[in-house]
Amino acid sequence: MGTTSENKWEPKIVAFLCNWCSYAGADLAGVSRFQYPPNIRIIRLPCSGRVSANMILDALRSGADGVLVSGCHPGDCHYISGNLFARRRFALLNNLLEFVGIEPGRVNFSWVSASEGEQFAEVVREVTETVKKLGPSTRLVKNIG
């Protein structure tokens, strides 16, 4: 969707981050001044278990070129098991989306802890690069003319 200059298209990526690990990880990346692409738009949630398929699909519908969902490492969930329940749901959703032809790499999942600032930056770099390769999202994008 967004174009920053004449020909250079920059993807917009919506990132759903859990409050306790990945959001803190992003914070650490910032505090530690690790560079990562400015393409992500962060939405903070209490837990990756809070992320529903509706939200991910709504991001795609609204024209996000990519989605990143990130939570605590399994076993480290602030709510003990939120990410473990979520993991099953994400696995199924990921497969379902690929099944209907959403490009692999459009929707991404990761585990990043509060101490992994560099890892967070690395994930964002990787996701941005993948989405850039895929190009602007066209499937499942709503257009009201």
Closest Cα to residue 66, out of 19, 132, 142, 17? 132
Give the binding-site size for other proteins (rule: CB under 8 A): 47
Cβ atoms of 107 and 67 within 8 Å: the answer is yes
Binding to other proteins by CB under 8 A, coded x per residue (else -) over 46-65, reads -------xx--xx--xxx--
Q: Does 140 engage in binding with other proteins (CB under 8 A)?
A: yes
Distance CA 137, CA 105 (A): 11
- 32 or 138: whose CB is closer to other proteins? 138
Distance in Å, CB of 50 to other proteins, minimum? 14
Q: Choose one: 5-13, 26-34, 36-44, 102-110; the region binding other proteins (CB under 8 A).
A: 102-110
Q: Does 30 engage in binding with other proteins (CB under 8 A)?
A: no
- 46 or 104: whose CB is closer to other proteins? 104
Distance CA 21, CA 47 (A): 9
Cβ atoms of 18 and 116 within 8 Å: the answer is no
